[in-house]
Amino acid sequence: MRTYVLISILISISTAHAAGLPDTGQDRCFPSVGPPLVACNETNTGNAADYPDQDGRYGRDAAATLGQLPKIGAGKSGRDYTKVCNSGELADSGACPADPILGDGNNEWACTQDNVTGLMWEVKTDDGGLRDKDWTYSWYNADTSTNGGNAGSPDDDNNCFNLTRCDTQKYQSDINTIIPLCGYTDWRVPSQRELLTLTDLNRNPVSDFYPNTLLDQFWSASPYAATPFSKAWIVDTYTAGTSAQNKSNNVNLRLVRGVRF
């Protein structure tokens, strides 16, 4: 049975990133009497309310609800995303269409830029190819300065496109050398903090900007401090929670590029 440590993104990510952090996605509030959640206002979250100062009344999500949040791209609530073509051009720039379709063509969509964090994320496919959503990987990192004292295991369980090795380091290498994805060769496994920015505490975190996302566990690059020799952190897209898993486990993976935090 899985055990999750459910935490707020704002608590988990204690170190602010220069480009900013997304809000939690919680844009509604608990009323004084039972469910369902309702629109946030002074009456239900003010100092005199039964549940004052709720998250949904503040931040980017609240500003978006009020129509007061300018965005570079689009996205639910306080999120701000832009599609990126295989060419590396942002949507509606150069030859990349304003709303490119998902595909392998030079002017088709393959990545998503987070305009709040500054990170660019891999978009998964459903075509049986290298980036297919159903492939899973063991955790492997040969860099002794970042692997927590144990590289993990190169996996050969034939559960990915490259049947000879199905681990995080091999997948990162393949994306950077075979494609390279959206014209870049600096793709990497995200940190736990970075991966948590994709979660949404108000709804399942699957959005129009991250199609083919399974509601399941995804590897981070972060070893688990308590037992770094054997475990690393995962983030679950269904619960918006995080937990430690054995490095030998087969888990989903989404790569990222940009300034690490």
Residues 169, 247, single domain; the answer is yes
- Range with the lowest mean pLDDT among 29-38, 74-83, 103-112, 164-173? 29-38
Are 21 and 197 in contact by the 8 Å Cβ rule? The answer is yes
Residue 5 lies in a domain: no
Mean pLDDT, to the nearest integer, of 149-167?
Answer: 88
Residues 60, 142, single domain; the answer is no
Residue 232 lies in a domain: yes
Residue with tokens 């399941």: 216
Mean pLDDT, to the nearest integer, of 197-204?
Answer: 78
> CA angle 149-140-251, nearest 5°?
125
pLDDT, tens digit, for every residue of 102-118?
A: 999 999 999 999 999 99
Residues 142, 239, single domain; the answer is yes
Residue 6 lies in a domain: no
Mean pLDDT (the chain, rounded): 88
Indicate whether 154 pLDDT > 70. Answer: yes
Residues 45, 143, single domain; the answer is no
Q: Parallel, antiparallel, or unpaired for β 109-114 and 256-257?
A: unpaired
Looking at residue 19, what is its pLDDT?
A: 64
Looking at residue 205, what is its pLDDT?
A: 55
Mean pLDDT, to the nearest integer, of 56-73?
Answer: 92
Q: What are the structure tokens assigned to 119, written together?
A: 């990170």
Which bin fits 45, alpha (ψ -120 to 50), beta or left (φ > 0)? alpha
pTM: 0.88
Residues spanned by the domain of 224: 124-261
Where is the domain boundary, 29, 45, 70? 70
- Number of structural domains (the chain) is 2
Residue with tokens 């599609």: 83
Residue 110 lies in a domain: no
Residue with tokens 């009020």: 66
pLDDT confidence bin for 203, thresholds 50/70/90: low
d(C-alpha 190, C-alpha 260), whole Å: 8
Are 202 and 209 in contact by the 8 Å Cβ rule? The answer is no
pLDDT confidence bin for 46, thresholds 50/70/90: confident
User: Taking Cα atoms as reference points, which of 183, 150, 152 lies closest to residue 169?
Assistant: 152
